[in-house]
Amino acid sequence: MLDSEPKLIKEAVAGKSSAFGPLYDHYQPMIYRFVLVKVGRREDAEDITHQVFLSAWQNIRSYKHRGYPFSSWLYQIARNQIVDHYRAKKNETSLEKMDPERFAIPATAQFDLSTKLEAERVLAVLATLKPEYQDVIILRFIEELPIKETAGAMEKTEGAVKLMQHRAIKELQRILTA
């Protein structure tokens, strides 16, 4: 969270475009990463992320703080944009067509080969889970959002997120040990 985030949000809601810039700069990498994991192609992720922030700017005047961080609102917009993306596409992308960078572990990471291969395998299996399970795993463990913020982004109760997280992990474990 930005130190001056409440002030920036208030100014952005009032129509001050210069206040939205720092919010964009802070949240764009997180939203992009979330979208990239969901869609698999850099080009699509860039386009969708752009649409997320365009939509956020166009609708900022209707933003109301409801006890969740501002990022929850952005993740909610991102989830909707991803759904729209897949509706427009109307066909599922096979794993073979996905950008290999989606599953890449950063070169700077100090992993041995077996750890890297296992992480890539988990990400590949993640892509086979139903969308809500993917979202909860990405938001909780890749984006490292707390339960409350994940609940806001997914428009679920905290209890529902905990249950969904449990089921998603069980499903991942089942597939990985099969």
DSSP type of residue 158:
H
Q: How confident is the model at residue 126, as a pLDDT?
A: 86
Q: How confident is the model at residue 104, as a pLDDT?
A: 54
Q: How confident is the model at residue 95, as a pLDDT?
A: 46
Mutual orientation of helices 70-89 and 42-59 as an angle, nearest 10°? 130
Q: How confident is the model at residue 51, as a pLDDT?
A: 97
Q: How confident is the model at residue 100, as a pLDDT?
A: 54
Looking at the domain 5-177, which fold is it? Rna Polymerase Sigma Factor; Chain: A (1.10.1740)
pTM over 0.85: no
DSSP 117-137: HHHHHHHHHHTTS-HHHHHHH
| Residue length of the chain | 178
Q: Which residues contact 171 (CB under 8 A, 6 or more apart)?
A: 129, 133
3-state secondary structure of 42: helix
Q: pLDDT 10s per residue in the chain (178 long)?
A: 677 899 999 999 998 989 999 999 999 999 999 999 998 889 999 999 999 999 999 999 999 888 888 999 999 999 999 999 988 876 544 445 555 555 555 555 555 677 767 777 878 888 889 999 999 998 998 888 899 999 998 989 999 999 999 999 999 889 888 7
CA–CA distance, 65 with 132 (Å, rounded to integer): 24
Alpha carbons within 13 angstroms on the beta-carbon side of residue 146 total: 5
CA–CA distance, 38 with 85 (Å, rounded to integer): 11
For the chain, the domains span: 5-177
Q: How confident is the model at residue 165, as a pLDDT?
A: 94
Q: How confident is the model at residue 93, as a pLDDT?
A: 47
Alpha carbons within 13 angstroms on the beta-carbon side of residue 78 total: 33
